[in-house]
Amino acid sequence: MAQQLTFDLPAHPAQGLDDFLVTSSNANAMATIEGWEDWPNRKLVLAGDTGTGKTHLAHVWAGMSGARILPASALPQTKIEDLAGRSVAVEDADQIAGSAEAESALFHLHNLVLAEGGSLLITAGSAPSRWGLSLPDLKSRMEGTTLVKLDPPDDMLLSAVLVKLFHDRQMTVPANLIDYLLPRMERSLAEAAQLVSVLDQAALSEGRALTRTLAARVLDKPPENGA
Q: Which pLDDT score, from 0 to 100, does residue 221 have?
A: 64
Q: Which pLDDT score, from 0 to 100, does residue 220 have?
A: 82
Helix axes 136-143, 100-115, angle to 10 degrees: 50
Q: Which pLDDT score, from 0 to 100, does residue 188 have?
A: 83
List all residues 6 or more positions away from 110 whose beta carbon is below 8 Å from its beta carbon.
43, 120, 138, 141
Amino acid of residue 167:
H
Amino acid of residue 20:
F
Predicted model pTM: 0.75
Give counts: helices (H), strands (E), the chain: 8, 5
Q: Which pLDDT score, from 0 to 100, does residue 19 have?
A: 62
Q: Which pLDDT score, from 0 to 100, does residue 175 have?
A: 85
Q: Which pLDDT score, from 0 to 100, does residue 15 have?
A: 52
The rounded distance, in Å, linking the Cα atoms of 106 and 72 is 8
Find out whether 124 and 45 touch, Cβ atoms under 8 Å: yes
The 3-state DSSP composition of the chain as helix, strand, coil percent (nearest 5) reads 55, 10, 35
The rounded distance, in Å, linking the Cα atoms of 221 and 208 is 18
| Segments of the chain with pLDDT less than 70 | 1-20, 221-227
pLDDT tens digits along 176-200: 999 999 999 888 888 888 899 999 9
CB atoms within 10 A of CB 110: 21
